[in-house]
Structure 1
Amino acid sequence: MTVVNVNKVRRCALYARLSVTKEESVSITRQLQSCRRYAQARGWEVVGEFIDDGVSATANRPEDRKGWTTLLEAEGFDAVVIWKVDRLARRVLDFLHADEALQQRGAGLVAVEDPIDMTSPQGRAFAVMLAVFGEMEAEAIRARVRAARAQLLKDGRWAGGGIPYGYLSAANPDGPGRVLVKDPERLRWLTEAVMMALNGATVYAVTKWLTDEGAPLPNGGRNKRTPGNVEWNYHTVDRLLRNPILAGMTPRNPGRGRNAKDVDPFAVVRDESGTPVASESLAVITVSEFTALQNTLNSQESPQVRKRRDRVTTSPFLSRVARCDACDVYMCRGTNQKRPVIYCPKCKQTLSRTTLDPYLVERLHAERGSEPLAAATVQDCWDAAGADELAKREVLLTQLESLRIRRGVVGRYFDEERVLLRWRPSLVSAGTCRTATTDS
């Protein structure tokens, strides 16, 4: 590992990160301002500024963040200036990996607010201790949140999160906080949908019925992406039918988990004897009926249960190409409200191909178009493929080392941060051009 002398530093890069903007948080702008003043005081030239806004350090390793990755790909700096150690990492292992990546290229790490200087051995040792305390602090915060939530559930209050369809959040009549109550406007739609599923209707059939009948959508009754669109989503209905609130039970951790396999519909609040605590005032079916409903849903196939004539053919361009970053399985191609998507068969995360495919093609042309391929270039082979999607897929695979998709914020438009793309390191690729064929 190379040790960098702070006295020899002449040029530096600035890095700032923020998970969520809060009143007590230090904004990206303020972080960069502090870093600039620090560099100016030392007479260092700032050669670049890199940010990761809205990115959690606990959930995302530095090497998986776009801003940090772009920083490592840059040239011409001797040190990286950050505001505090926890802006880079919240876990010791992540911090050490990030520092090692800088040391391998002969650069050091400097924190403005923490009394450390990673350009010296003593500074690195102290920084590791700060990283340890940062990890302990993050765990302490999680423990306090879990304890507070457990107390709210014990008191029968609403602990926050997404409000289930067919319910409302109301002021607690027996004390502080809020509680769930049935939503009279949407309750009849919820009850009918559950009865249909209990009687054997598939999730797709229930989804189609809700759309055809004009049932109001969750969160205001309109599709925010397509104003005026009242089409229901298959996965929305599937989650609705798997929510234990239908039987008056309270999930221990409501909401969407990172992995669907970790979301157990029977992981609910229980009493001392282990019996689920159920509120009759919230239930639309009994606990036994909810169990039967889950068995019925588990016995059905996913979206392919729909009739073949109703399925939409999608491009094979990304067939067995992208993997779910959380589940490490290939993502499948399908449709969501008649628009092409790829989705994880385990955790059910989806990503629109309407924006993903052009994004990948643009990066392939810009970053690998001039790479040699089969006595030509990647761009030449791509052009020769014409409209043949399988041929284009082969060209992409010759350059691709890995393509992983991670979960994003529900309801957001295309987010480049979700796409973890790595090209093959070799500049020489093997393969043959496959020209597109047309019917004569």
Structure 2
Amino acid sequence: MNVNKVRRCALYARLSITKEESVSIIRQLDSCRRYAEARGWEVVGEFIDDGVSATANRPEDRKGWTALLAAGGFDAVVIWKVDRLARRVLDFLHAAEMLQQCSAGLVAVEDPIDMTSPQGRAFAVMLAVFGEMEAEAIRARVRSARAHLIKDGRWAGGGIPYGYLSAANPDGPGRVLVKDPERLQWLTKAVMMALNGATVYGITKWLTDEGAPLPGGRSSKRTPGNVEWNYHTVNRLLRNPILAGMMPRNPGRGRNAKDVDPFAVVRDERGLPVINKSLAVITLDEFTALQDILNSRESPQVRKRRSRETTSPFLSRVASCDTCDVYMCRGTNQKRPVLYCPKCKQTLSRATLDPYLVKRLLAERGGEPLAGVTVQDSWDTVGADDLARREILLTQLESLRIRRGVVGRYFDEERVLLRWLPAGSGGHSDPAGPSKAR
């Protein structure tokens, strides 16, 4: 790209989360506009990705960046800094390559990038390297701060385990965990049942039937909005090292309770687990025995076949998990149809996903030829036959991948990574398995 030949530009801004010290989307765009105005460039579009992590999301998987590439009609893309585009070197290089294919270049307001020469391109890569190093430094600081808090006996934040409360630290600043008298009896009983051979499903049913207070709220009384306990919540509860008074070494919640090492906990200088006996409900030996019991059951302790809810086969072996690269399974969560990943356990409601896919299929591919007619005609002919609908979808689909989203968020279209086959290809389906769409 020769900056002297630039006439039209597009602006791009990204922000993971708004904090007092962060540079807002508005400030980024204002800075980019002033840069373009000073050079006499016409701004033909502004594109943003707000609330999107550059570490967790590649540029090509972001809604704003994808829209920018699809819009075209520009000679350059102006960003505030390199780390607004990517925090991984490979992501940056791939994004720069995509711009080159569009005969456009990249300009950063705060980073003096001139990609017209090999030296300039090398410098841009170095900036991307520093951005990746900064992201890793942030993670290291978070881990260090958390370890310090735990060493002092304080609560490091995050989701509070079931059966516990966060209370003011009586011995100094910060907060500490204490047992929740309202939920502790349910927690202890559930653990004892598991140690005595009860299945996770059996414990789940018992908690629901007995009206045990659900995680998250303070009230033990059920309201019309409350729902029953589910298998994965109970399974995760029984694998939490806090049961033996130990603190997990990693902040946050693992994607799959069975795949997370329950003994990856804070340890002392001798390598022994740091145990807070005031928080323990069982001993370390009992916790070890409990994990052995849970791990010895090879198949999930789901409902008996005769009591399971039937679900539509429309997306059977169609959608795959973008993280684990395996087909997502159909099932139910709290009696609602969902797709779930058998590895990382992410779920997505089919009550919203199925209509969304049907709407896009008919709107974007309805006029495509299929068996002598069109996709729309074929769809109308099969009616409510979900297996036949599935076959029609597969004739048009190149890939359908679901990526993880924010827990508790309503249906998010950005989680659905959908690609159609090239128009006029006639359609095909690949039974061999999912493949990453890049």
TM-score above 0.5, yes or no: yes
Q: Determine the C-alpha separation between the residues in 1 that align with 2:194 and 2:258.
A: 21
Q: Offset at 1:138?
A: 1.6
| Displacement after TM superposition at 1:338 (Å) | 0.3
1:414 maps to 2:402: no
| Number of aligned positions between the proteins | 427
CA contact (8 A) 1:246 1:284 kept: yes
Write the letter of the residue equivalent to 2:123. Answer: F
Residue 180 of structure 1 corresponds to which residue in structure 2? 177
Q: Pick one of 289, 297, 301 that aligns with 1:292.
A: 289
SS at match of 2:181: coil
1:10 aligned onto 2:7: yes
RMSD: 2.2
Say if 2:236 and 2:257, in contact at 8 Å, map to a contact too.
no
Q: Write the distance in 1 (CA, Å) between the matches of 2:369 and 2:36.
A: 42
Tell me the equivalent position of 2:387. 390
User: What is the TM-score when the length of structure 2 is the normalising length?
Assistant: 0.91
Q: Which range is displaced more, 32-41 or 256-265?
A: 256-265
- Higher mean displacement: 298-307 or 174-183: 298-307
Instruction: State the partner residue of 1:22.
Output: 19
Which residue pairs with 1:61 in the alignment?
Answer: 58
Unaligned 5+ segments in structure 1 are: 433-440
Give the 3 Å change call, closer, same or farther, for CA 301–232 of structure 1 in structure 2. Answer: farther
Query: 1:426 Cα deviation (Å)?
Result: 4.8
Q: Which residue number in structure 1 is paired with residue 432 of structure 2?
A: none
Segment of structure 1 superposing worse, 29-38 or 278-287: 29-38
**Matched AA of 2:96:** D
**Residue matched to 2:88:** 91
Q: Tell me the secondary structure at the aligned position of residue 269 of structure 1.
A: coil
Deviation at 1:227, TM superposition (A): 6.1
What is the aligned partner in structure 2 of residue 140 from structure 1? 137
Judging changes above 3 Å, is the alpha-carbon distance between structure 1 residues 409 and 157 closer, same or farther for their aligned structure 2 residues? same
Task: Indicate which of 186, 194, 211 corresponds to 1:189.
Answer: 186
Distance of 1:191 and 1:254 partners within structure 2: 24
Q: What is aligned with 2:435?
A: none
- Deviation of 1:358 after TM superposition, in Å, equals 1.2
Partner residue, 1:425: 422
The equivalences for 1:1-400 within 5 A come to: 4-118=1-115, 123-221=120-218, 228-258=225-255, 260=257, 262-300=259-297, 305-400=302-397
Q: 1:380 to 1:304 in 2, by over 3 A?
A: farther
Could you tell me which runs of 5 or more consecutive residues in structure 2 were left unpaired when the two chains were aligned: 430-438
Corresponding residue number in structure 2 for 1:437: none
In structure 2, C-alpha distance between the alignment counterparts of 1:301 and 1:360, rounded to whole Å? 34
CA distance change for structure 1 residues 105 and 365 in 2, over 3 Å: closer, same or farther?
same
Change beyond 3 A, Cα 1:431–1:320: closer
Q: For residues 254 and 295 of structure 1, do their structure 2 counterparts lie closer, same or farther at Cα, with a shift above 3 Å needed? A: farther
> TM-score, normalised to structure 1's length?
0.91
| Percent of aligned pairs sharing the same letter | 86
1-structure distance, mates of 2:301, 2:260: 22
CA distance in 2, matches of 1:12, 1:361: 36
Are the aligned partners of 1:107 and 1:119 in contact in 2 as well (CA < 8 Å)?
Answer: no
Structure 1: how far apart are the matches of 2:83 and 2:427? Answer: 43
Cα distance between partner residues in 2 of 1:258 and 1:241: 15
Write the distance in 1 (CA, Å) between the matches of 2:311 and 2:298. Answer: 19
The secondary structure found in structure 1 opposite 2:426 is: coil
CA deviation after TM superposition for structure 1 residue 270, in Å = 2.3
